[in-house]
Each structure stands twice: as structure tokens, then as C-alpha cells.
Amino acid sequence: MGKRTALRSTFSVAPPALTISGLSVAVILLTLFTITVGPYPLSVGQILEALWRSATGLGDAPAGQIDTVLFQVRIPRVTAALLVGAALAAAGTVYQGLFRNPLVSPDILGVSTGAGLGAATGILLSLPVIAIQGLAFAGGLITVALVYSVATAVRGHEPTLVLVLAGVVLGALAGACISLVKILADPYDQLPAITFWLLGSLAGVNPKDVWSALPLVGLGLVPLVLLRWRMNLMALGDEEASALGVDPRRLRILFVAAATLITASVVAISGVIGWVGLVMPHIARLIVGPNFDRLLPTAMLLGAGYLLIVDTLARTMATTETPLGILTAFLGAPVFLWLLASGRRGW
Amino acid sequence: MGPIRFAAGFLALTVLAAAPAIAATVTDSAGRTVTVPDTISRVYAAGPPASVLLYVLAPDRLTGWPRAPHAYERPYLAAPYRDLPETGRLTGRGDTANLEVVLRNKPDLIFDFGSVRDTYISLAERVQKQTGIPYLLIDGRFENTPEALRLMGGVLGVDKRAETLASYVEDLFAELDRTLAKVPEDQRPRVYLARGPDGLETGLKGSINTEIIERAGGRNVADPGPDAAVRRGITQVSIEQVIVANPDTIITWDRNFYGQVWTNPVWRGIEAVKRKRVYLAPTAPFGWIDRPPSVNRIIGLKWLAGLFYPDRFSFDLPAETRKFYKLFYHVDLSDEELDRLIEWASGRP
């Protein structure tokens, strides 16, 4: 008990508004810093000059590849890291609230596995990158839609339990299909591509990817923000929620759809990245408590900052890329174990 | 495991082969002594590299392909053999072969061509014990190609053909050595192998996937340094790392990547793209760079040397391709087949 109180007092000294604005400033500073880091040497002066040039249209033509690196590679990649991190954390927060279970990650209903199957199929068919991303997006949405229809078809049980079970079963089935695709794939050519995709990476991100994922994530966030108070009621359980005048079934389908859209649109550009959606909502809950109103922005800021740090490591640690899925797990697992050991319950 | 053992194995074999109806012993690249029957009419190739080696030497001995040829590969394989069944691979990792299917095919010999590591040695021993079929392991390193051809040629009793192919390879190696002796390291092209649909997978210098680049006299830009303790294999890189490396030559076999590299803004500024030195490697019936790492890389080696050193290394792409496909793959290419095969292999006009 003493430890728990200590934790709470360490994290909750500041009022939530202050915490959120503090985090925002930290993420902005981190973003500005990471734009200056990378294998291509760019000084702060060169970056400011390039930004000034692109904003005003004044100045000399850029020397070398400065503009390409900055506007086509580094800024899109940093933006993508922020977007993917925030999106996964948001989806994780929603799922954990819906299922009233802190061990739930955005993949609970099979969205990443479905997306993985879509992408693996695209690679097997030697499709262009854009089609692979489209198939990944569709695969994620279709899997969750199937899970939801199976769960609604099965009546007479606790609805969230059936949903989770259907998610586990169909997720495992999609996983088996991925293995089948891997067996069919060319071991010298397509198999490594599938493996890398399943490990997650932002190495190939370009501005178009960011522009295609951003509106979809925004669209998914709208219901979450508008209905944030009802999310708190959902966390009380179906009976209490019904007693308080909300329709838990309709709300659940809306939240699941929103969180799935968010996850599928970022997974399509980044590949499978675990841990962010599982761990970030936890840390957010430690800091600001379970109120969804504050929890959502806090988790998103934490997720954005975390993935930005991890991705900066991934692109600067070695002369080649380190897959994100590996790094997030190496950094995420100890944090998660510590959270488990500290014994604090979600709510 | 060195050339002496090969020679010894080969010698032992030729001596013993002189006495018919007596099983011969062969020493394979792992130093294992294996007793093989005198006449070998059916051979099971354990993986794609082995199937290529067997196909170029004696296609009539193949029991099947590790993976059935794709539709676009079929015209480049000789008629009866392209219809052989798929028999799976037996390489200890991601096996798709069923031992019962292997046995049903009644091979006189199983062999694998590639890395001779402990994993593969133990697999060979295990399968040999389980099935009672002799299992040979042949070192698949590029430099070992002539020896591998001769060793297998001896085992299969096609020494003359093996000699023809082996001397083709040796002549090429010798010609390359002569050409490259005059080119200092810092004047060699800086090459990036773009793999995967977005071109951001590559093979590190020193890996089997890219050894063809150094052999043809290029410098692989994906070089972690000679002493770096990293696994030399296929890896992912970011576009920023490619921009920093700024290769002057890019080779790939991915058509999706090749199609968009010219217009993609992030690739456009790279030296190789600006100088239009991006080349698409043919992939049928086997890849020219890799896929699988076997005898099929020999034509790729000639092609790359011609691209890297147009003034020093004379290479007539259509004529040499025709000759190689006739000699190694037993096919006469029609003009249309040849055009389709080597489209963009000399870059895009």
C-alpha cells in the first residue's frame, strides 16, 4: 500500500491540465530535436534556412540533397512516428477501457494480425507498395468486422467475453494464414520482405503515407473525443452503463470501429508494432488516473513521444535499420513487468 | 573442406568408378565419406541451389523441383523438366518436404548445395540414417562453383559436361581477375542492391546474397566495416541511409521498385538514378544476382562486370545470354523470349 501511495503521489502532484501541457511541450521539443538527428548531416542552421526558403520561396536553390532529406524523408518520418505512436496508444486506451482489462492491446480483436495477413498476401503477389498497404488496411478492418459479426451471432454470453474469444480465435486463424503465405513465398525474395513487414518499420515512410493515414486517424478520433464521457460509463460494465442511460451495445460497436480504423490505418504504413498500445495507456493511467477525458490525450502524447524516441534509435543506432517491433518490445517488456510487479490495478 | 579434399574425393571417385557395379565412396565438402551407388539415375535436390546445380549438369536425374516453376519461368526451362513435380525443400529450416514423399520418389542420392555448417551436417547425417539414402553436402560458395560442378559431375558420371561448364566458369573468373587487377579499389563502382518492393532491403557486404557484387568488381555500399560484429545477411535500411551512401549504381530484380525509382522524389537525387545507372536483373528461370545463390549467378556475374566496366570487360548481352542459356539451361531462346528476359537489364534508355 505504501508503495502504491508513493507512486500516486509522485505522479499526481500536478493537476491534469498542467501534466498534459507539460507533456505536449516535451513532445514538441523532442520532435524539434529528432529532426536534427540522422545519418545525413544537417545542421540546425541548414534546417532553419531550408524551412525559411520553403515558407517564403526566397533564397538560393538548395545545395545537394538537403531539401529531399528534410522534406521528403526526415520530417515525414518524424511525423509518422508521432502519428503511429499516438494512434496505437489511443486505440489501446479505448480497448482497455471497453474490455475493462489492463492486459488488452489494440491487437485483441486481431487488427494487426489481419493487417499482417493482408500485407503478406500483397508481398506474395508481388504487388506495388501502395497495394500492399491497401491490403494491410483492408485486412485489419475485415478481420475485426468478422470478429464482431461472430461475436454478435453468438448470444447468451457476456458480450465482451465472446468478443475477446472471437478475436483470439480469428486472430490465431489469421496467424496461421500468415504462416501459410510464408511457406508459399519465395524464400530468397518475398520471405524476408514479409518478415520485415511483420517486425514493423518506418524506414520506407514517405509524405504520401502520412497524408493517407492522417485523415483516417483523425476520423477515428472524432467519436472518441465527442463521446469521451460515455467511455467512462462503459468502464463500469454493461449493466451500470445501461442503468445510467447509455446503450452499451451501440456504443461498443462505435468505439471498436473507431479504434480499429485508427489502428488499421497506421499499421498499414508502419507494419506491426507491439507494446505501444499496451504499455502507454498504463503509464497514462498512473499519471492522470482512469478518467478517459484526460487519459486519452495523455496516452496519445506518451505514445507519440515514446515511438518517436524508439524510431530515432531505430534509424540512428546502426548503419542499417533496427526493426521497431524488436525495439519496442525490448524497451516495453521491462516497463510492463515493472507495472505488473508494482501491483497497481487499472481501476 | 578445402580444395585438397575435393580433389581427393574426386580422385577416389574416378578410381573407384573404373570398377563397375561397385559402390563408390565420395568425400563431400563437409569431409564426410559417403558411399554412393555406381549408377545414379534419380537425385533429390534438397534445396533450390542444389536443384539448379543438378539441372545444369544432368536434368534427367531430377526427381522434381523444390518449388514448381512459375508460369513466367517455364519458357526458360527445357521441355520435359519444367513439368517435373514440386518435391519441397529439405534444408533443416522451414522444411516443406515430407520424408515419405522423398522416399516414394526412390532417389539414389540426396544432395544439398550451399552453406556447410554444423546444422546442415547433422541434418544430412540424420536424413541419411533415417532413409538409408546417401546424402552429400557440397560447398556453395561462389569461388567453389567449378569444384562443385566437377565433384557432382563425377558423382553423376557426367564428367565431360561438368568439365565444360567448370571451365566456362573458370575462364570467366580468370578474365575477371585480369580485368580487376588493373582497377584500384577506389575506382570501382559503389553499388547498392535494392531488394523488396520499396527497395529498402539489401544484403550487407560479406553476405552470400551480395558476394556477386564484389566478385564483379563493385563495392557494396551496405558495408558495416570489416570488423563489425553483425550478422552478414539481408537487412533493412532507411532511405536516408541510402542517400548518405549515395551509390553510383543500383541493381535490383524487383519490377515494382524498378518501375517507380525514376519518379520517386526521394530516389531521384541519388547518383545512380541521376546517371540512369539502375539495372533490372532478369529472374527467369533463376535469378541473375541471387535467388537462389547457385550456378545461375554466373551469367549475372558476366552481366555485372559488363555494366561496371564497359570499357575493360567486353560483354554482348543478347549473344552471351543466348549462349549461357543454351549451354547451361538446355534452351534455345526465341527473340521474343530473349527480349522479355533482358528488358531493362542494360538500364532504361
Q: Which domains does chain A have, with CATH numbers?
A: 79-342 (1.10.3470.10)
Per-residue pLDDT band at B94 (split at 50, 70, 90): low
Q: Is B347 helix (H, G, I), strand (E, B) or coil?
A: coil
Q: Do residues A119 and A132 make contact, with C-beta atoms less than 8 angstroms apart?
A: yes
Cβ separation of A203 and B269 shorter than 8 Å? no
Average pLDDT score over residue span B223-242:
84
Average pLDDT score over residue span B14-30:
66
Decide: residue B41, CB within 10 A, 0-12 exposed, 13-18 middle, 19+ buried. Answer: middle
B196 touches chain A (CB under 8 A): yes
Interacting residues of A149 by C-beta distance below 8 A, sequence separation 6+? none
Interacting residues of A318 by C-beta distance below 8 A, sequence separation 6+? B224, B230
**Among all chains, which residue has been given the C-alpha cell 561397385?**
B22
Average pLDDT score over residue span B143-158:
95
Question: Angle, nearest 10°, between helix axes A75-98 and A292-316?
Answer: 140
Average pLDDT score over residue span B68-89:
93
What Å distances lie between residue B165 and A195, B53, B320, CA to CA?
36, 11, 14
pLDDT at B134: 95
Helix (H) or strand (E) holding A323: none
Q: Do residues B64 and B77 make contact, with C-beta atoms less than 8 angstroms apart?
A: no
Distance from B283 to chain A by nearest Cα, in Å?
11
pLDDT at B74: 95
Contacts of A189 in chain B (CB under 8 A): 195, 253-254, 287, 291
Sheet of strand B43-45, all strands in order from the earlier edge strand to the far edge: B43-45, B109-114, B135-139
pLDDT at A7: 43
Average pLDDT score over residue span B23-49:
92
Average pLDDT score over residue span B260-266:
91
pLDDT at B17: 45
Regions of chain A where pLDDT drops below 50:
1-13, 346-347
Q: Residue A315 is nearest to which of B223, B238, B266, comparing CB atoms?
A: B238
d(CA B109, CA A94): 60
Question: By percentage, how much of chain B surpasses pLDDT 70?
Answer: 92
C-alpha cell at A23: 507533456
Helix (H) or strand (E) holding B235: strand B234-236
pLDDT at A2: 41
Contacts of A69 in chain B (CB under 8 A): 240, 243
More confidently predicted of B98 and B196:
B196
Average pLDDT score over residue span B21-37:
86
Distance from B141 to chain A by nearest Cα, in Å?
16
Q: What is the mean pLDDT of chain B?
A: 89
A160 touches chain B (CB under 8 A): no
C-alpha cell at A276: 505501444
Cis peptide before B318 (omega within 30 of 0): no
Interacting residues of B182 by C-beta distance below 8 A, sequence separation 6+? B312
Taking domain B3-173, whether its CATH number is 3.40.50.1980 is answered by yes
More confidently predicted of B315 and A10:
B315
Distance from A69 to chain B by nearest Cα, in Å?
7
pLDDT at B3: 56
Helix (H) or strand (E) holding B243: helix B239-245
Q: Are both B3-173 and B184-341 of the same fold? A: yes
- Select from A332, A295, A286 the least CA-distant residue to A310: A332
Mutate to test the interface with B, among A188, A201, A202 (most CBs of B within 10 A): A188
Q: Do residues A109 and A87 make contact, with C-beta atoms less than 8 angstroms apart?
A: no
d(CA A125, CA A302): 37
d(CA A89, CA A22): 18
B19, pLDDT greater than 70? no
Mutate to test the interface with A, among B72, B230, B266, B297 (most CBs of A within 10 A): B266
CA dihedral B224, B230, B232, B235 (to 10 degrees): -80
Which residues partner with B45 through β-bridges? Answer: B111
Interacting residues of B129 by C-beta distance below 8 A, sequence separation 6+? none
B168, pLDDT greater than 70? yes
Mutate to test the interface with A, among B93, B193, B241 (most CBs of A within 10 A): B241
Distance from B11 to chain A by nearest Cα, in Å?
35
C-beta neighbour count of B311 within 10 angstroms: 5
Taking domain B184-341, whether its CATH number is 3.40.50.1980 is answered by yes
B210, pLDDT greater than 60? yes
Could you tell me the residue ranges of all domains in chain B?
Answer: 3-173, 184-341
Cβ separation of A201 and B243 shorter than 8 Å? no
Mutate to test the interface with A, among B238, B246, B257, B267 (most CBs of A within 10 A): B238
Interacting residues of B227 by C-beta distance below 8 A, sequence separation 6+? none
B32, pLDDT greater than 70? yes
> What's the residue count for chain B?
349
C-alpha cell at B178: 585480369
pLDDT at A186: 87
Rounded CA Rg of chain A? 21
Question: Angle, nearest 10°, between helix axes A129-153 and A159-184?
Answer: 140
Cβ separation of A320 and B235 shorter than 8 Å? yes
pLDDT at A159: 81
Rounded CA Rg of chain B? 21
User: Which residues, numbered 107 to 136 in chain A, qualify as contacts with chain B under a Cβ-Cβ cut-off of 8 Å?
Assistant: 123, 126-129, 132
> ipTM of the assembly?
0.86
- Select from B251, B252, B278, B281 the least CA-distant residue to B263: B278
Please calculate the CA angle A225-A228-A232 and round it to the nearest 5 degrees.
Answer: 160
Distance from A72 to chain B by nearest Cα, in Å?
6
| DSSP 8-state code for residue A174 | H
Cβ separation of B222 and A320 shorter than 8 Å? yes
pLDDT at B2: 52
